[in-house]
Amino acid sequence: MLLKVLTTAFVIMGFGLLIVLLFVMINKPSGENESELVIYGTRILVYFGVSCLSWIAAAFCAVLLMRRTRNELVESQKENINSLIEGTLRDHERKE
């Protein structure tokens, strides 16, 4: 359950950061003051980096979630096959 919550949170955070990035990019300063451009560039870079990290974390959590689900399905498949074999053996014993 925690992986589902984390994956969803990272995806929502990623979308939120992309939307905020659009608003940050709108306020581009004029090219007259270099220090303002440096601050603007740093802000864009930080938002982009955090957004990328959010999407990477979401993908990582999704991969972990898929692995866990696959392992659970393999275990349930083994249990189902074992119960099928046991049931078949019991049916054959009853017929004899």
DSSP state of 29: P
Amino acid (one-letter) located at 24: V
Distance CA 72, CA 66 (A): 10
For 74-84, what is the mean pLDDT? 94
Structure confidence at residue 16 as a pLDDT band (50, 70, 90) = very high
Q: What is the pLDDT of residues 20-68, one digit of tens each?
A: 888 888 888 877 888 888 988 898 999 999 999 999 999 999 999 999 9
Q: Determine the Cα–Cα distance for residues 52 and 60; give it in Å rounded to an integer.
A: 12
* Angstrom distance (rounded) from CA 6 to CA 80: 31
Q: What is the structure's pLDDT at 30?
A: 79
* Helix, strand, or coil (residue 95): helix
Residue with tokens 């930080």: 46
Supply 53's token pair: 């990290």
